[in-house]
Structure 1
């Protein structure tokens, strides 16, 4: 799937509303004064947008502070429901988390990014900043690198050119040639590693979910603390279980769901 061209005539009023929504997503409970300090928009402009968004139930106000409305959750669930592999992959993710005892994430590729669709924690008490709905750069994640590795070169190189190699931790790969070399290795073995590249002290292994044409549309990762998820567990045991799960998903995608 090639990248669709961006509009060269964006609607600036819509972009302003999006800026406000993004700011409140990351910083809920902001007042008009705080939003005016944080955004490069006039106070009167922000106020008009807040009132419009509030009138349309996308925001609500409490004690002068603005929050995203839960109605936005309905939009997110509707977006997730269009993912053809979600239901079958979710069941396999639950099974994999129970079998390994580690946290397992299901992600989808959307445009240049990875989006977290679903997680299962198994017996692991590990909690990180990752959350369902979160969008991340592909090169920072095990599942994301696995997706990049199986994309056509034109598309993977285009993503790298457009997004750059933004650093999440000191271990994130930020050198283009180093990343391309690692993508070659991922294709050879069928899975990718994340060694503290997205969150310090967290290791993960990930593999791509591919459609009937072999195009990566998502992925699964298994993650845990680096002091536990290491050695043969990381290098052999978890990859074997992950690839077996991916194979079951591919069979269901291509030949119909089977419980």
Structure 2
């Protein structure tokens, strides 16, 4: 369920929370009726029906037979949000190239609300399926992208995020303390890239490089693959450099775009 919406007094607004819970549930189910949603969300059918009618009036959901589904207006909103990232086309081009070069999954992530949010994802020809999807979020401390972004943020912002974390072991190798995370961030700063050593999903490893512009952290770019193929040697000898090269091209092209020019992948 999404975080509660807060009014000026600091209290959450329950009706808005319920509306977003309905949207979340429809995203998960694809389509659902009033009774199913009421059972899923533990609210009365009359409450769910009222929220669905309101969302339908606002063109956020549409009727789908005996149920409801999300409308294409959600897609319009998502496209608008994506297009607000000024260097999105550059990111897409470089992530596509990174996936093609490595044959693995390549991704770009940013920090939102103290979590890692996936902005773009592309699969290479040998890629295996991963749980991440564009728009979804993962813990910063359990992902190469998240840890790499944290290591690049100003100290006060990084500390704020770390202090707000609720550390939970995703796998046996997940970092589960602020002290261990701080030590890991120091290592990332020293070598210039971060690694997820089966910390988020067992059997998958990931390496990520930070992307910055004028001392602003834009996000990070990564390569993910099965541990059997993404070995430690391959990470340090090949994939880290590939990720750093992609990050550098994004940085340069972002700078050129700000100056009104254009950059080219080398």
Between the aligned partners of 1:231 and 1:44, the Cα distance in structure 2 is 56
* Higher-RCO chain (CA-CA 8 Å, sequence separation at least 6): 1
**What SS class does the counterpart of residue 30 from structure 2 fall into?**
coil
Would you say 1:173 and 2:175 are equivalent positions? yes
**Matches for 1:220-259 after TM superposition, within 5 Å:** 220-256=221-257, 257-259=262-264
Between the aligned partners of 1:70 and 1:132, the Cα distance in structure 2 is 17
**What SS class does the counterpart of residue 120 from structure 1 fall into?**
strand
**What SS class does the counterpart of residue 98 from structure 1 fall into?**
helix
* Residues 163, 178 of structure 2: 8 Å contact kept: no
1:97 paired residue number: 99
* Residues 95, 108 of structure 2: 8 Å contact kept: yes
Q: Cα offset for 1:40? A: 4.0
Would you say 1:191 and 2:196 are equivalent positions? no
**Matches for 1:3-18 after TM superposition, within 5 Å:** 7=7, 8-18=10-20
* Residues 98, 242 of structure 2: 8 Å contact kept: yes
Q: Which runs of 5+ in 1 are unaligned?
A: 1-5
1:42 paired residue number: 44
**What SS class does the counterpart of residue 29 from structure 1 fall into?**
coil
Deviations 1:70-99 (CA, angstroms, capped at 9, x unpaired): 320111110011112211121111111111
Between the aligned partners of 2:233 and 2:11, the Cα distance in structure 1 is 53
* Residues 105, 122 of structure 2: 8 Å contact kept: yes
**What SS class does the counterpart of residue 218 from structure 2 fall into?**
strand
Between the aligned partners of 1:40 and 1:161, the Cα distance in structure 2 is 32
TM-score, normalised on structure 1? 0.90
Between the aligned partners of 1:156 and 1:60, the Cα distance in structure 2 is 41
**What SS class does the counterpart of residue 85 from structure 2 fall into?**
coil
Between the aligned partners of 1:190 and 1:178, the Cα distance in structure 2 is 18
Between the aligned partners of 2:49 and 2:36, the Cα distance in structure 1 is 12
TM-score, normalised on structure 2? 0.88
Give the number of equivalent residue pairs. Answer: 253
Q: Cα offset for 1:194? A: 0.6
Q: Which runs of 5+ in 2 are unaligned?
A: 1-5
**What SS class does the counterpart of residue 16 from structure 1 fall into?**
helix
**Matches for 1:74-85 after TM superposition, within 5 Å:** 74-85=76-87
**What SS class does the counterpart of residue 234 from structure 1 fall into?**
helix
* Residues 110, 149 of structure 2: 8 Å contact kept: no
